[in-house]
Structure 1
Amino acid sequence: MHQATIDESVRAHVEQTLTEYLAAKQSTMASLTQELADALDALVEFILRGGKRIRPTFAWWGWRGAGGEPDAPAVLRAVSGLELIQACALVHDDLMDDSAVRRGSPTVHVTFGRLHQQQGWLGEPERFGMAAAILLGDIALAWADDMFYGSGVAAPRIAAASEPWQAMRSEMLAGQYLDILTQVQGDESPSAALRVARMKTAAYTVERPLQMGATLAGADTEVIERLREFGADIGVAFQLRDDLLGVFGDTEVTGKPAGDDLREGKRTLLVALGLQQAGEAGAAVIRHCLGRQDLTAQDIERTRSVLIESGAVDAVERRIEELTQTAMHALDSADLAEPAGDRLAELAVAATRRNH
């Protein structure tokens, strides 16, 4: 029977690698107390519940594009650690945004708040849920480092790849801070929205994973630079698509409530352009909805109409297309081992034209 290589099914191999690694971590830590075992079960279930595994996939094709071998389980373990950084970001992001649903299920802080309430424990359920989410997100981040540095990749390669790995963690957290700062300052400029997209999403979703994979393979500076250019533009385009889905996405497909970005008051490029282009009355409709937890279906539909009629949606779509084109140009100019170039082009299209 033919056994699929990593190249043929990166996502499936990442899933298997994560499942095995997390089972070992659970086994080690769960012996402390049953209560901790239950909490770790919830974290592991969250990590393994869906997800596109886009970050390790980009990292893998960075590795292959720079000449890395197609059979490299240690490298797969190293890049799979990116999913644990993503888990940390999602758990904390949901808490900061007070989101109730992620991937069609209750978010971590909501789950533990409900547990507190069901058990009749002392104190406030919401504060317990918040504390649990902070700590479990931190555990995911610690496990990410453990998985990367303990992957079995040769020490010189891990040392070289630690530069993008460490930069990515800092940029992701800095981007999260800029995101919440932009919301509380009410900064409605397109430049602020793009700055957040660049730091919060592009760097740690595409650019740094590609750099990390290529560095693990010993790529030269020119290849890494072209991959980073490609990754930066595709990463921003990925976030802009996410912004559109945050307002127009189908709940059944995205796994998040309709209009959730509006409730959270996110100053995305879509919102910034809508405020600029919608006129006084249209801008008033958008501002009325931003940050309101009691949004009705009618409120959301009115805002959607304003964003469409103002031309903001079309403008964001054009920006996505422009970024994709410049990214493809950078990719074409990179001297990559095949089939990495073709796979990265396919990933770019999937990332920027997705519906969830």
Structure 2
Amino acid sequence: MAHDTLAGNRHRGIPRQGASPHALIHAIHGTLADFLAPQIASLDAIDPALGRFARTARDLVLAGGKRLRPVFAYWGWRGAVGSDEPVEPALPAFAALELMHTFALVHDDVMDESDTRRGRPTAHRIFAGHHRQDGSIGDPEKFGTSSAILIGDLCLVWADQLLARTPGSPAVRAYYDRMRVEAIAGQYLDVLGENQPGAWSVERALLVARHKTASYTVQRPLQFGCAVADASDERIDEAYGKYGLAIGEAFQLRDDLLGVYGDPAVTGKPAGDDLRTGKPTALLMLARKLATPAQRAELTLDPAGAVNPADGSGGLTPAQVERRARVITETGAPARLEAMIQERVADGIAALAGAPIHEDARAALIELAVRVAHRPA
């Protein structure tokens, strides 16, 4: 496998006239694989244990997923440069966003004590399993958590290294840094909400959605892609900002619904985790707002009820989780959330109407708005 990212991907044949989702995702995957191969080899040369550590990180990065952040960055770039510009020089920048995303996912799974991600064991569960298989001493869960934190850190360093391979203006780094700060700020608010549910509201849940999800999933990747194109049109930046915020919020609101009602076989994550932990999502906050006193009492977790320890003891039973999901439905909150999603999709599409971007990008972003807002996983 080629060590040079660009050389390793030129043969993959990304069409200059836009890109199909499959071709683009294939190119991102190839860029990541080409970059990671020498990174793993250098760690493996130090010690075989580091090689296994790095290969686990690689497997998490390449395990699939929607690749939304690179895709939005690509279309943000394509909207500014048009259909004739070759994409290969920009691929490292787009792929770097996927490494940053892996960092965020791994740390998020540690905080949520999640067992699966994309239908596979989470990083901390993988390393806890290694600890047991190797007959190591100490607590396997602590080892798993410590190792997963380091995996996330490594992915963030790798993201910086890959981004450095992309020529661009200072605006590229500025948007990248802003994206990271906002994602961390949103994650902290998310953690804070779980520990202060009584102080939370629909409005504050939406604030979390804007920073934890909308900013780093749609809004900043689009603006980042435009910066990679070295475009400085304020009209494009403003349109991408409005579109990204609206569609990013729609994405998170759909995620709230999938977290309660999604099919684990499709989402790759257990259903009801948000209800088990009492996470104050917009869905739960809206349900409490619309609930009768009796329904509100059923939806209120006492501190002990929110515990979901790693060994599976305590917390809500599956029957209790199912009951809470039914109560939420009865409040009318899911239907109200669906309406909020539709409003945001309409607002996002409207934001593109007068933007001076190329038509293939406009069409792709409209299609993406509908797809991410109505996705099954």
Counterpart of 1:21 (choices 20, 24, 35) is 35
Counterpart of 1:331 (choices 349, 352, 355) is 352
Answering whether residue 271 of structure 2 is matched by residue 258 of structure 1, we say: yes
Counterpart of 2:365 (choices 332, 344, 347) is 344
Counterpart of 2:230 (choices 218, 222, 226) is 218
| Other-structure match for 1:60 | 74
TM alignment of 1:265-284, pairs within 5 A: 265-284=278-297
Q: Report percent identity of matched pairs.
A: 42
| Other-structure match for 2:111 | 96
RMSD over aligned CA atoms reads 1.7
Question: Secondary structure at the residue paired with 1:81?
Answer: helix
The structure-2 alpha-carbon separation of the partners of 1:307 and 1:159, relative to structure 1 and needing over 3 Å to count, comes to same
* C-alpha contact 1:7 1:70 (8 A) present in aligned 2: no
* C-alpha contact 1:262 1:292 (8 A) present in aligned 2: no
Question: Secondary structure at the residue paired with 1:339?
Answer: helix
Counterpart of 1:113 (choices 108, 117, 128) is 128
C-alpha distance in structure 2 between counterparts of 1:30 and 1:225, whole Å? 46
Counterpart of 1:138 (choices 143, 153, 162) is 153
Answering whether residue 191 of structure 2 is matched by residue 180 of structure 1, we say: yes
| Other-structure match for 1:165 | 176
Question: Secondary structure at the residue paired with 2:294?
Answer: helix
Q: CA deviation at 1:297?
A: 3.0
Question: Secondary structure at the residue paired with 1:237?
Answer: helix
| Other-structure match for 1:229 | 242
Q: CA deviation at 1:120?
A: 2.2
| Structure 2 residue identity aligned to 1:33 | D
C-alpha distance in structure 2 between counterparts of 1:28 and 1:34, whole Å? 10
TM-score by structure 2 length?
0.90
| Other-structure match for 2:341 | 320
- What is the aligned length? 352
Q: CA deviation at 1:179?
A: 0.6
Question: Secondary structure at the residue paired with 2:359?
Answer: coil
TM alignment of 1:142-153, pairs within 5 A: 142-151=157-166, 153=167
C-alpha distance in structure 1 between counterparts of 2:36 and 2:220, whole Å? 24
Structure 1 gaps, min length 5: none
Q: CA deviation at 1:258?
A: 1.5
Q: CA deviation at 1:158?
A: 4.0
Counterpart of 1:51 (choices 31, 46, 65) is 65
C-alpha distance in structure 1 between counterparts of 2:12 and 2:287, whole Å? 52
C-alpha distance in structure 1 between counterparts of 2:285 and 2:291, whole Å? 10
Q: CA deviation at 1:160?
A: 2.2
